[in-house]
Structure 1
Amino acid sequence: MDLAAERARVAGRIASLRREIEALAEEQAFTSHDDEHDPEGVTIAVQRAQLQGLLDVAEREHADLGRAAERVADGSYGVCVLCGRPIGTERLEALPATTTCITCASRPRRGRQLGPGPR
Protein backbone atom coordinates (compact mmCIF):
# COMPACT_ATOMS: atom_id res chain seq x y z
CA MET A 1 0.00 0.00 0.00
CA ASP A 2 1.34 3.40 -0.98
CA LEU A 3 0.35 5.53 2.02
CA ALA A 4 1.34 8.78 0.31
CA ALA A 5 -0.90 8.01 -2.67
CA GLU A 6 -3.77 6.98 -0.41
CA ARG A 7 -3.37 10.13 1.66
CA ALA A 8 -3.35 12.25 -1.52
CA ARG A 9 -6.52 10.50 -2.69
CA VAL A 10 -8.23 11.28 0.62
CA ALA A 11 -6.99 14.90 0.46
CA GLY A 12 -8.64 15.17 -2.96
CA ARG A 13 -11.88 13.83 -1.51
CA ILE A 14 -11.67 16.38 1.32
CA ALA A 15 -11.19 19.23 -1.17
CA SER A 16 -14.12 17.99 -3.25
CA LEU A 17 -16.41 17.71 -0.23
CA ARG A 18 -15.47 21.21 0.91
CA ARG A 19 -16.31 22.56 -2.55
CA GLU A 20 -19.66 20.79 -2.44
CA ILE A 21 -20.43 22.24 0.99
CA GLU A 22 -19.48 25.74 -0.20
CA ALA A 23 -21.65 25.37 -3.32
CA LEU A 24 -24.54 24.20 -1.18
CA ALA A 25 -24.10 27.16 1.15
CA GLU A 26 -24.18 29.52 -1.85
CA GLU A 27 -27.29 27.78 -3.15
CA GLN A 28 -28.90 28.06 0.26
CA ALA A 29 -28.13 31.79 0.36
CA PHE A 30 -30.25 32.28 -2.76
CA THR A 31 -33.22 30.25 -1.54
CA SER A 32 -35.91 30.84 1.03
CA HIS A 33 -34.96 30.20 4.62
CA ASP A 34 -38.52 29.24 5.51
CA ASP A 35 -37.83 25.52 6.09
CA GLU A 36 -41.31 25.01 7.50
CA HIS A 37 -42.99 25.90 4.20
CA ASP A 38 -40.15 25.26 1.74
CA PRO A 39 -39.65 21.57 1.01
CA GLU A 40 -36.27 22.33 -0.59
CA GLY A 41 -35.03 24.00 2.62
CA VAL A 42 -35.14 20.75 4.56
CA THR A 43 -33.51 18.88 1.68
CA ILE A 44 -30.62 21.35 1.56
CA ALA A 45 -30.13 21.15 5.34
CA VAL A 46 -30.09 17.35 5.25
CA GLN A 47 -27.73 17.30 2.28
CA ARG A 48 -25.38 19.72 4.02
CA ALA A 49 -25.39 17.58 7.18
CA GLN A 50 -24.60 14.48 5.11
CA LEU A 51 -21.74 16.21 3.32
CA GLN A 52 -20.37 17.49 6.63
CA GLY A 53 -20.47 13.95 8.03
CA LEU A 54 -18.58 12.63 4.99
CA LEU A 55 -16.05 15.45 5.37
CA ASP A 56 -15.51 14.62 9.05
CA VAL A 57 -14.87 10.95 8.19
CA ALA A 58 -12.46 11.90 5.38
CA GLU A 59 -10.54 14.29 7.65
CA ARG A 60 -10.18 11.57 10.31
CA GLU A 61 -9.01 9.11 7.65
CA HIS A 62 -6.45 11.66 6.38
CA ALA A 63 -5.11 12.18 9.92
CA ASP A 64 -5.01 8.40 10.50
CA LEU A 65 -3.02 7.94 7.29
CA GLY A 66 -0.62 10.66 8.44
CA ARG A 67 -0.05 8.79 11.70
CA ALA A 68 0.47 5.58 9.68
CA ALA A 69 3.17 7.35 7.66
CA GLU A 70 4.83 8.36 10.93
CA ARG A 71 4.76 4.69 12.02
CA VAL A 72 6.44 3.74 8.72
CA ALA A 73 9.16 6.30 9.44
CA ASP A 74 9.77 5.06 12.98
CA GLY A 75 9.57 1.36 12.02
CA SER A 76 6.43 0.51 13.95
CA TYR A 77 4.04 0.29 10.97
CA GLY A 78 2.41 -3.09 10.63
CA VAL A 79 2.87 -4.02 14.29
CA CYS A 80 -0.24 -4.38 16.45
CA VAL A 81 -0.28 -1.80 19.26
CA LEU A 82 -2.16 -4.22 21.52
CA CYS A 83 -0.27 -7.50 21.21
CA GLY A 84 2.94 -6.53 19.39
CA ARG A 85 2.44 -9.12 16.65
CA PRO A 86 2.57 -8.32 12.94
CA ILE A 87 -0.62 -7.07 11.30
CA GLY A 88 -1.52 -9.20 8.29
CA THR A 89 -0.73 -7.86 4.84
CA GLU A 90 -4.34 -8.31 3.71
CA ARG A 91 -5.58 -6.24 6.66
CA LEU A 92 -3.06 -3.50 5.94
CA GLU A 93 -4.13 -3.47 2.29
CA ALA A 94 -7.79 -3.09 3.29
CA LEU A 95 -7.16 -0.70 6.21
CA PRO A 96 -3.78 0.98 5.70
CA ALA A 97 -4.09 3.12 8.83
CA THR A 98 -5.04 0.27 11.16
CA THR A 99 -3.07 -0.15 14.36
CA THR A 100 -4.37 -3.57 15.41
CA CYS A 101 -4.18 -7.09 14.07
CA ILE A 102 -7.41 -8.89 13.18
CA THR A 103 -7.27 -10.97 16.36
CA CYS A 104 -7.09 -7.94 18.64
CA ALA A 105 -9.61 -5.99 16.56
CA SER A 106 -12.07 -8.88 16.93
CA ARG A 107 -11.85 -8.93 20.73
CA PRO A 108 -14.42 -7.06 22.81
CA ARG A 109 -13.15 -3.56 23.54
CA ARG A 110 -13.67 -3.80 27.28
CA GLY A 111 -10.65 -5.17 29.08
CA ARG A 112 -8.07 -4.57 26.35
CA GLN A 113 -4.59 -3.86 27.54
CA LEU A 114 -1.81 -2.21 25.60
CA GLY A 115 1.51 -3.91 25.09
CA PRO A 116 2.82 -7.22 23.84
CA GLY A 117 0.78 -10.21 24.81
CA PRO A 118 1.78 -13.83 25.22
CA ARG A 119 3.44 -15.41 22.24
Structure 2
Amino acid sequence: MSTTMTPTQLERFQVKLLKERADAEERFAEFGDVMSEVRAARSGASADDEHDPEGPTMTQEWSQRSAVLADARAELSNVDRALARIADGTYGICSRCGKRIAVARLEARPTAELCIDCARLVG
Protein backbone atom coordinates (compact mmCIF):
# COMPACT_ATOMS: atom_id res chain seq x y z
CA MET A 1 0.00 0.00 0.00
CA SER A 2 1.40 3.40 -0.85
CA THR A 3 0.72 6.66 0.91
CA THR A 4 -2.32 8.70 -0.02
CA MET A 5 -0.70 11.97 0.98
CA THR A 6 -0.32 14.73 -1.53
CA PRO A 7 3.16 15.65 -2.76
CA THR A 8 2.81 18.95 -0.89
CA GLN A 9 2.06 17.16 2.39
CA LEU A 10 4.98 14.78 1.88
CA GLU A 11 7.31 17.66 1.13
CA ARG A 12 6.16 19.51 4.26
CA PHE A 13 6.82 16.43 6.41
CA GLN A 14 10.19 15.88 4.76
CA VAL A 15 11.23 19.46 5.56
CA LYS A 16 10.01 19.01 9.14
CA LEU A 17 11.91 15.73 9.50
CA LEU A 18 15.10 17.20 8.05
CA LYS A 19 14.90 20.04 10.59
CA GLU A 20 14.41 17.51 13.41
CA ARG A 21 17.40 15.59 12.09
CA ALA A 22 19.59 18.70 12.04
CA ASP A 23 18.52 19.56 15.61
CA ALA A 24 19.31 16.02 16.81
CA GLU A 25 22.69 16.07 15.03
CA GLU A 26 23.50 19.36 16.72
CA ARG A 27 22.58 17.96 20.16
CA PHE A 28 24.55 14.81 19.43
CA ALA A 29 27.66 16.80 18.46
CA GLU A 30 27.32 19.17 21.42
CA PHE A 31 26.87 16.41 23.97
CA GLY A 32 29.57 14.30 22.34
CA ASP A 33 32.01 17.14 23.03
CA VAL A 34 30.73 17.45 26.59
CA MET A 35 31.09 13.69 27.07
CA SER A 36 34.75 13.99 26.12
CA GLU A 37 35.17 16.67 28.79
CA VAL A 38 33.36 14.58 31.41
CA ARG A 39 35.41 11.51 30.44
CA ALA A 40 38.62 13.51 30.91
CA ALA A 41 37.39 14.90 34.23
CA ARG A 42 36.38 11.44 35.44
CA SER A 43 39.73 9.93 34.58
CA GLY A 44 41.53 12.67 36.53
CA ALA A 45 39.03 12.96 39.38
CA SER A 46 40.09 12.22 42.92
CA ALA A 47 37.85 10.41 45.35
CA ASP A 48 36.92 13.78 46.85
CA ASP A 49 35.55 14.99 43.50
CA GLU A 50 33.12 12.08 43.44
CA HIS A 51 31.71 13.11 46.82
CA ASP A 52 31.46 16.85 46.35
CA PRO A 53 28.35 17.95 48.34
CA GLU A 54 28.10 21.10 46.20
CA GLY A 55 27.20 19.40 42.95
CA PRO A 56 26.62 16.21 41.01
CA THR A 57 29.26 13.52 40.94
CA MET A 58 31.12 12.72 37.76
CA THR A 59 29.15 9.48 37.59
CA GLN A 60 25.86 11.40 37.71
CA GLU A 61 27.11 13.76 35.00
CA TRP A 62 28.17 10.81 32.87
CA SER A 63 24.79 9.09 33.29
CA GLN A 64 22.81 12.20 32.45
CA ARG A 65 24.92 13.04 29.41
CA SER A 66 24.82 9.42 28.23
CA ALA A 67 21.03 9.48 28.38
CA VAL A 68 20.88 12.67 26.29
CA LEU A 69 23.24 11.13 23.71
CA ALA A 70 21.16 7.93 23.57
CA ASP A 71 17.99 9.99 23.03
CA ALA A 72 19.63 11.98 20.21
CA ARG A 73 20.91 8.75 18.62
CA ALA A 74 17.41 7.21 18.80
CA GLU A 75 15.85 10.36 17.35
CA LEU A 76 18.29 10.29 14.43
CA SER A 77 17.40 6.67 13.77
CA ASN A 78 13.65 7.38 13.93
CA VAL A 79 13.97 10.36 11.59
CA ASP A 80 16.06 8.37 9.13
CA ARG A 81 13.44 5.60 9.08
CA ALA A 82 10.68 8.17 8.48
CA LEU A 83 12.66 9.76 5.64
CA ALA A 84 13.15 6.30 4.12
CA ARG A 85 9.37 5.74 4.29
CA ILE A 86 8.84 9.02 2.43
CA ALA A 87 11.33 7.85 -0.21
CA ASP A 88 9.71 4.44 -0.64
CA GLY A 89 6.13 5.72 -0.60
CA THR A 90 5.01 4.20 2.70
CA TYR A 91 5.14 7.28 4.91
CA GLY A 92 1.85 7.79 6.74
CA ILE A 93 0.92 4.10 6.56
CA CYS A 94 0.78 2.14 9.81
CA SER A 95 3.50 -0.50 9.83
CA ARG A 96 1.33 -2.79 11.94
CA CYS A 97 -2.15 -2.70 10.40
CA GLY A 98 -1.55 -0.97 7.06
CA LYS A 99 -4.12 1.78 7.64
CA ARG A 100 -3.40 5.44 7.09
CA ILE A 101 -1.91 7.37 9.99
CA ALA A 102 -3.89 10.54 10.67
CA VAL A 103 -2.15 13.69 9.48
CA ALA A 104 -2.80 15.26 12.91
CA ARG A 105 -0.81 12.42 14.52
CA LEU A 106 2.03 12.93 12.05
CA GLU A 107 1.97 16.67 12.74
CA ALA A 108 2.46 15.91 16.43
CA ARG A 109 4.90 13.03 15.85
CA PRO A 110 6.32 13.05 12.31
CA THR A 111 8.32 9.89 12.98
CA ALA A 112 5.23 7.87 13.93
CA GLU A 113 5.19 4.39 12.40
CA LEU A 114 1.90 3.32 13.96
CA CYS A 115 -1.62 4.69 13.74
CA ILE A 116 -3.06 5.82 17.06
CA ASP A 117 -5.07 2.60 17.53
CA CYS A 118 -2.02 0.37 17.06
CA ALA A 119 0.12 2.67 19.21
CA ARG A 120 -2.38 2.24 22.05
CA LEU A 121 -2.30 -1.54 21.64
CA VAL A 122 1.48 -1.85 21.77
CA GLY A 123 2.24 1.07 24.08
Same fold by TM (over 0.5)? yes
> What is the TM-score normalised by the length of structure 1?
0.79
Structure 1 unaligned blocks of 5 or more: 110-119
Segments of 4+ moved more than 2 angstroms: 26-31
User: Distance in 2 between the 1:81 and 1:50 partners?
Assistant: 32
Deviations 1:74-97 (A, max 9, x none): 110010011111111221122211
Give the letter for the 1:97 counterpart: T
Contact 2:94–2:113, Cα closer than 8 Å, also in 1: yes
Structure 2 unaligned blocks of 5 or more: 1-12
Corresponding position of 1:104: 118
Indicate the percent of aligned positions where both proteins have the same amino acid.
33
- Number of positions where the alignment pairs a residue of Structure 1 with one of Structure 2: 107
> What is the TM-score normalised by the length of structure 2?
0.77
Deviations 1:39-72 (A, max 9, x none): 1397111110111011112101101110110000
User: Distance in 1 between the 2:34 and 2:23 partners?
Assistant: 17
User: Distance in 2 between the 1:97 and 1:80 partners?
Assistant: 11
User: Distance in 1 between the 2:116 and 2:105 partners?
Assistant: 7
Corresponding position of 1:28: 42
Give the letter for the 1:13 counterpart: R
Give the letter for the 1:94 counterpart: A
Larger RCO (CA under 8 A, 6+ residues apart): 2
CA RMSD, 1 decimal: 2.1
Q: What is the 5 A alignment of 1:1-119?
A: 1=13, 2-32=16-46, 34=47, 38-40=50-52, 43-108=57-122
User: Distance in 1 between the 2:98 and 2:68 partners?
Assistant: 32
